[in-house]
């Protein structure tokens, strides 16, 4: 019951915050729920070949393998690395599933959770052992990648906590499958499900801005679940902003020939380019949504310096949205605005692919009238 309840919760999480990591953890929870359900039948009526196979497939293979792959999708930013992990996942899912289903099972079954080595021959044990090595490699890879984030990443500690809970869930699930542990096995399996659920609950609060650089699937953030139309409600107020303080600077001296050239200070401006590929027949509705967002940004967000949506004449089903923010805080506050969260909720229904590129401005030149022309505020 706990496993199926956690699976339902993870399904809701994956729907509200779609990402590859959420899908991986949902598959892991589903596999463990099926395995533990067969374990309940075996504990009541006595284990047999079928219930033993389901228990091992769910608890020893699908559970830890997809927990670890979800950790890679959550913690690793490299698109090439994620692609490699998906290839390994496919190989270590299909082949072991076939072997665990068809290979011979021997030995006498009881009502206690059976250990893997007591009933499987050499080949299934070797395949599961290789899968567990991949699980360890995935988890170590995700933790190292997250730990090596720049010191300025405020979410690194939270990400490591998420990955730690995922590693605990995979460890407990693997231990139950390999050792059994009689009546202790169900308790450890319960701990594995709880740790996985905790990892997903904690991951829901982690902003995934840096992950958007290479991922085509986790571009939508959660945060708005209602059916109201925030664009049309005049009573709605923008998110309250934190007070900024800044020192005034005198630039007059820079225009004298004898004045030294000022030292270049790194720009705090942030930029984001988002490329949407629309589904057939969805262009009109998507354009209506983007027009509403552009209008709200212009009216409510003074620190979003530029926000524009463009069509592509050579590709009618593509839209390019680019934005320039005063600094990182302005970008964070933009993502928390109700109209942006409403767009994140409704936009995916009209989109088949999304690519997001984040930029740090190193230099720029523009006419004085450009921003006033594009952004009325």
Task: Tell me the pLDDT tens digit for each residue of 33-90.
Answer: 888 888 788 778 877 888 888 888 888 888 899 999 998 988 888 888 888 888 888 8
199 and 276 part of one domain = no
Q: What is the mean pLDDT of residues 5-23?
A: 81
Residue 136 pLDDT more than 90?
yes
Are 271 and 200 found together in one domain?
no
Count of domains observed in the chain: 2
**Measured in whole angstroms, how far is the alpha carbon of residue 155 from the centre of its chain?**
14
Instruction: List the single range of 103-112, 179-188, 217-226 with lowest mean pLDDT.
Output: 217-226
Rg of the chain on CA atoms, in Å: 26
Q: Does 254 score more than 60 pLDDT?
A: no
Same domain, 173 and 293: no
Co-location of 42 and 125 in the same domain: yes
Whether residue 199 is found in the same domain as residue 271: no
Higher pLDDT, 44 or 238: 44
Percentage of the chain lying above the pLDDT 90 cut: 13
Q: Phi and psi for 157 in degrees, rounded to 5?
A: -65, -40
Other Cβ atoms less than 10 A from the Cβ of 312: the count is: 11
Q: Is position 256 within any domain?
A: no
Domain stops at, among 211, 235, 252: 211
Residue 169: is its pLDDT beyond 50? yes
Structure tokens at 19: 């990402």
Q: How far is CA 234 from CA 62, 156, 239, 294, 296, in A?
A: 50, 38, 14, 16, 11
Rounded distance between C-alpha atoms, residue 374 and residue 356, angstroms = 21
Alpha carbon distance, N-terminus to C-terminus of the chain: 54
Q: Is residue 244 part of a domain?
A: no
Q: Which has the closest alpha carbon to 56: 44, 68, 64? A: 64
How many residues are present in the chain? 377
Written as six digits, the tokens of 194 are: 């709880």
> Does residue 255 belong to any structural domain of this protein?
no
164, 190, 211 - which closes a domain: 211
Q: Return all residues near 155 (Cβ < 8 A) that are at least 6 apart.
A: 206, 207
Tell me, yes or no, whether 201 and 278 share the same domain: no
High-pLDDT (> 70) share of the chain, %? 75
> Starting from the edge strand earliest in sequence, which strands make up the sheet with 270-278, in order?
304-312, 315-325, 270-278, 351-360
Q: Token digits for 88?
A: 């390994």
Q: What is the mean pLDDT of residues 252-277?
A: 63
The domain that holds 335 is classified in CATH as 3.30.70.100
Instruction: Identify the domain containing residue 60 by its residue range.
Output: 2-211
The reply to whether 284 and 363 lie within a common domain is yes
Of the three residues 194, 211, 228, the one that is the final residue of a domain is 211
- Position 225 in a domain: no
* Mean pLDDT to the nearest integer, 183-211: 73
Residue 226's alpha-carbon distances to 288, 327, 346, in angstroms, are 19, 29, 11
Q: 91 and 207 share a domain? A: yes
Does residue 144 fall inside a structural domain? yes
Domain check: are 51 and 165 in the same one? yes
In a shared domain, residues 176 and 44: yes
Q: Do 307 and 168 belong together in one domain?
A: no
For residue 320, what pLDDT band results from cuts at 50, 70 and 90? very high
Question: Of 9-23, 84-98, 101-115, which gets the smallest average pLDDT?
Answer: 101-115
Residue 216: is its pLDDT beyond 50? no
Mean pLDDT of the residues in the chain: 77
The answer as to whether 154 is a domain residue is yes
Q: Per-residue pLDDT averaged across 245-271, rounded?
A: 51
Instruction: Mark out the alpha helices in the chain (DSSP H runs).
Output: 2-16, 20-45, 49-56, 63-75, 79-102, 122-147, 156-179, 184-203, 283-300, 328-335, 338-346, 368-374
Looking at the structure, do residues 148 and 85 belong to the same domain, yes or no? yes
Q: Is the pLDDT of residue 129 over 50?
A: yes
Q: Could you give the CA distance from residue 230 to residue 237 in angstroms, rounded to a whole number?
A: 10
């Amino acid at each position: 019951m706990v496993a199926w309840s956690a699976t339902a919760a993870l399904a809701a999480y994956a729907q509200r915050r779609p990402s590859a990591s959420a899908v991986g953890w949902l598959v892991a929870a589903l596999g463990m729920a099926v395995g533990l359900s067969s374990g309940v039948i075996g504990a009541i009526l006595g284990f047999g070949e079928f219930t033993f196979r389901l228990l091992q497939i769910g608890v020893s293979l699908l559970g830890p393998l997809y927990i670890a792959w979800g950790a890679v999708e959550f913690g690793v930013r490299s698109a090439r690395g994620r692609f490699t992990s998906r290839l390994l996942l496919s190989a270590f899912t299909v082949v072991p599933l076939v072997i665990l289903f068809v290979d011979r099972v021997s030995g006498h079954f009881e009502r206690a959770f059976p250990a893997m080595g007591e009933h499987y021959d050499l080949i299934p044990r070797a395949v599961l052992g290789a899968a567990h090595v991949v699980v360890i490699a995935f988890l170590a890879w995700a933790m190292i990648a997250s730990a090596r984030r720049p010191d300025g990443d405020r979410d690194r500690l939270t990400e490591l906590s998420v990955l730690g809970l995922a590693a605990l869930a995979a460890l407990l699930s693997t231990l139950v499958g390999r050792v059994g542990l009689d009546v202790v096995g169900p308790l450890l399996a319960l701990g594995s499900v709880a740790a996985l659920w905790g990892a997903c609950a904690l991951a829901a609060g982690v902003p995934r801005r840096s992950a958007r650089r290479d991922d085509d699937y986790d571009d939508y953030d959660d945060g708005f679940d209602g059916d109201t139309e925030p664009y049309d409600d005049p009573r709605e107020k923008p998110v309250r902003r934190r007070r900024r303080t800044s020192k005034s600077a005198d630039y007059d001296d820079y225009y004298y020939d004898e004045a030294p050239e000022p030292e270049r200070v790194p720009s705090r401006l942030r930029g984001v380019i988002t490329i949407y590929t629309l589904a057939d027949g969805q262009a009109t509705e998507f354009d209506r949504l983007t027009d509403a967002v552009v209008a709200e940004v212009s009216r409510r967000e003074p620190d979003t310096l530029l926000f524009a949506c463009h069509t592509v004449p050579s590709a009618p089903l593509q839209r390019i949205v680019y934005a320039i923010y005063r600094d990182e805080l302005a970008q964070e506050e933009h993502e928390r605005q109700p109209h942006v969260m409403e767009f994140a909720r409704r936009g995916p229904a009209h989109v088949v692919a999304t690519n997001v590129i984040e930029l740090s401005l190193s230099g720029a030149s523009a006419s004085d009238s450009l921003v006033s022309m594009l952004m009325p505020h």
